[in-house]
Structure 1
Amino acid sequence: MLRWLLGGRDVQEPVEKSLVLCIGDEQLQNPYTELQVLKGHSDIVRFMAWIDDLRFASAGDDGVVFVWNVQTGERVHELRGHSRPITAIAVFPSIHHLPPENRQLLTASSDKTVIIWDLHTGSQIYSLMDFQSSVKCLMIIERLDVWLSGADKVCTWNCQAELLCKTACFKDADVSSMIELPKNSIATAVRKDIVIFKLTPLSSESQTWEIIEMRRLSNHEDDIRALISVNDNTFATGSHVGELIIWDSLDWSVRASESQFWNSAQQSDKPAEIKISLTPNQHETCIHHLSSDRENVFAAIGTGIYVYNLQTKTVIAYQQVAHDSRVLHIAKLPNNQLVSCSEDGSVRLWKLQELPPAEPATSGYCTSYVICIGRFKVQVLL
């Protein structure tokens, strides 16, 4: 059985809002000796996707996709069909009201193919091989019964793997990631820019679609490495040099309420710009991946995991050495669980526990969090 390590002791004293906690600093030995590691991959693990309450998938440079039972750690399926590293994965949640056992998985690879898998049998349903470059991102829009692929262009497909429409090719760049925005809009990351597209059905009878470029946002100073939807009104991007930008999902502007951050990682007395470096180690500034629970943004930076709170605009906790090598992907699971994967080939399971409100020293409401990583849990009062 997988064991969620809840730690050996509590920190009872309230922590000031400006203090950033480095979880597990007092543990001198390997903090992961009691944590079950899910083994099977023979190369770097780069992606994970949540399937349902019992399963998630992992994939990476060995070209193999493993489907895991999250309760027992058992390997449910071993999906082999790509000849080169996996570059993107996505799950059909419940298209056409499919039950959980019949959900489908999309995988893309640097072999310039996309495969649609039956997650009940582990067999291939469709295999697409007409791409001119590697597909680096996949996105499913369930309410429209379509999915999109991002490479040297953005393509829109139906559930039968038929091409509906596509953009023009990007010059000297590929789409690295994309997310859905309100009003059938799509945000894509192309080098330093966020390119906003509008997806419009022209005819419901003929299934004719159109995708139009609406705007380019050029606020980052370096290549964008992470793009996520935080909630209905907000999305976030992270760059190679550690910049984090919070955007408005409706008008595509930098949100005014988030125009300044306190660089809590360095405990600066000056308000920083909206672009901040989340890690004190300047040699590990690249934000490899972002995840969110609508209130916090979880950032994979170097070998560490950082928790950034949107309400307080501070890094409330971090583990600078969460893996032996760079953390490449973080996924938010149910029940405040996190799963992370790394260049070291391991998949690690974490727990973020929210406690009832503590009694504050002064009047006013206080929210308490416990970040459980390794053997210790640390209480954070916000």
Structure 2
Amino acid sequence: MDMETDLRKYQLSHELRGHEDDARGICVCGNAGIATSSRDKTVRYWVCHPTDKRKYELSKILPGHSSFVGPLAWIPPNEVLSEGAIVSGGMDTMVFVWNLSNGEKVHSLSGHQLQVTGVVLDDEDIVSSSVDCTLRRWRRCKVVESWEAHKSAIQAIIKLPSGELVTGSTDTTLKLWKGRTCLHTFAGHSDTVRGLANMHGLGILSASHDGSIRLWALTGEVLMEMVGHASIVYSVDSHVSGLIVSGGEDCSAKIWKDGVCVQSIEHPGCVWDVKFLENGDIVTACSDGVVRIWTSHQERIADPVDLDSYVSKLSEYKLSRKRVGGLKLEDLPGLDTLQIPGNSDGQTKIIREGDNGVAYAWNLREQKWDKVTFSFILLFFQQIFPCLFYH
């Protein structure tokens, strides 16, 4: 990646279409391809188009999970797996290993009690994290270690180049692990730590429900805090150039340089995951089911027709967001309504915050309005507008 790349704006390069529900996870498989996961219960594997290097085409569909699929990891080709393999974790508590040469499931790893939220390779082992608060180490398809790593749900796990593992949790902390020994606990986020990434030569990046991204030194010092997302940040990644990308609930992927947001890429839905390709291009997974590649290189930018089509889709989405069910955003009360006490514990009201409708619940004991989590909001709307949700 040349020195000028980070000064140029990223634009749409290509769309990977095929998932039938939210695109949730991305795994860059070296230069061989890209694996993606979805709420549609599948993993899909995409390879470079033979003639148009901007594009990827679908190579394999890997069905087998019984609920939505999240984290992914890549096993490079070896003597047993000539084209490598994909490891996937799901809401169904399972970890699967897929042979990329034929698309078949070769291993099923069963043991977690709740959703699998992370999978990483540690030499020849697979280490998985879960909402059940445990880490499990799998060797030749058997559990060789399992331990409670946090007191609350573990949401992410990565392996550092130096060999340690890092976990992020609903308990708002990160933990640094050497084997089963916790070397350090990183405290500072005020809400769930949802995404993690290695920052080349500097430390650990964390993305949080508190809307911020932090860069931590391995000693625990906060080197940088990046604030710019309007709500939950789900994912973060870095590139050797020093650029950082993050994706969140506010329907944007944001690009950061030296702690400053230099570009915000709008999406027609929540951005669940973001990853850099080696060449500096960015891959995003969106709740509209589409995986998109963004580039700052002129020769890889999409055709004008495709660019115009994306702008139109974005405009349609923004118009649709102006109404939530039968509610018009401009008709919702503002923040000042939170000065009026509620009538009963758990009473819910939706207020207008910028371009969003945000739910609050009355906390009778503390006599204050608490902002409600996204999952509660979803449940709230499912109860009021069941026709909007498909099962």
Alignment check: 8 A CA contact 1:338 1:352 kept: no
Residue 138 of structure 1: aligned partner:
119
Relative distance call for 1:332 and 1:374 in structure 2 (3 A) is farther
What is the aligned partner in structure 2 of residue 364 from structure 1? none
Q: 1:334 offset after TM fit, Å?
A: 3.0
Shift of 1:130: 2.4
Pick the aligned partner of 2:236 from 283, 290, 312.
290
Q: Which residue of 2 aligns with 1:129?
A: 110
Residues 1:161 and 2:141 aligned together? yes
Query: Does structure 1 retain, via aligned residues, the 8 Å contact 2:205–2:237?
Result: no
C-alpha contact 2:185 2:220 (8 A) present in aligned 1: no
Partner of 1:362: none
* Paired residue type of 1:287: V
Q: Is the 8 A contact 1:23 1:373 kept in 2?
A: no
* C-alpha distance in 1 between matches for 2:228 and 2:67: 33
Choose which of 248, 251, 254 in structure 2 pairs with 1:303.
Answer: 251
Q: 1:45 aligns with which of 5, 23, 35?
A: 23
Report 1:91-130 matches (<5 A).
91-94=74-77, 96=78, 101-130=82-111
Q: Percent identity?
A: 18
Deviates more, 1:161-170 or 1:147-156: 161-170
SS in 2 for 1:197: strand
Q: Please, which of 247, 251, 254 is the counterpart of residue 216 of structure 2?
A: 247
Deviation at 1:374, TM superposition (A): 8.9
Change (3 A) 1:84 1:74: same
| Structure 2 CA distance for partners of 1:97 and 1:315, relative to 1, 3 Å | farther
Residue 148 (str. 1) matches residue 127 (str. 2): yes
Q: Do the aligned residues in 1 keep the contact of 2:41 with 2:69 (CA within 8 Å)?
A: yes
Q: Which among 65, 70, 79 is matched to residue 87 of structure 1?
A: 70
The structural deviation recorded for 1:78 is 0.9
What is the one-letter code of the residue matched to 2:124?
Answer: D
Residue type at the aligned position of 1:111? D
Task: Give the length in aligned residue pairs.
Answer: 291
Q: Which amino acid in structure 2 is aligned with residue 232 of structure 1?
A: G
Q: Which residue of 2 aligns with 1:195?
A: 175
Question: 1:373 offset after TM fit, Å?
Answer: 8.6
With structure 2 as the length reference, what TM-score do the two structures score?
0.67
CA distance in 2, matches of 1:198, 1:54: 31
Unaligned 5+ residue runs, structure 2?
A: 50-54, 308-391
Q: Paired residue for 1:226?
A: 195
Would you say the 8 A contact 2:226–2:260 is kept in 1?
A: no
Residue of 28, 36, 39 corresponding to 1:61? 39
For the structure 1 residues 69 and 21, does the alpha-carbon distance in structure 2 shift closer, same or farther, using more than 3 Å as the test? closer
After TM superposition, give the deviation of residue 57 of structure 1 in Å: 1.2
Higher relative contact order (CA 8 A, sep 6+): 1
Answering whether residue 214 of structure 2 is matched by residue 235 of structure 1, we say no
Shift of 1:290: 0.7
Question: Which amino acid in 2 is paired with 1:349?
Answer: I
What residue is the counterpart of 2:264 in the other structure?
Answer: 318
- Distance in 1 between residues matched to 2:144 and 2:207, nearest whole Å: 31
1:23 deviates by: 7.2
Q: Work out whether 1:348 is the aligned partner of 2:326.
A: no
Q: TM-score, normalised by structure 1?
A: 0.69
Residue 53 of structure 1, CA deviation: 2.2
Q: 1:275 to 1:129 in 2, by over 3 A?
A: same
In structure 1, runs of 5+ residues without a counterpart are 1-13, 25-31, 200-210, 259-273, 355-369, 377-382
Q: Work out the CA distance in 2 between the residues paired with 1:307 and 1:98.
A: 39
Query: In angstroms, what is the RMSD of aligned CA positions?
Result: 2.9
More helix by share: 2
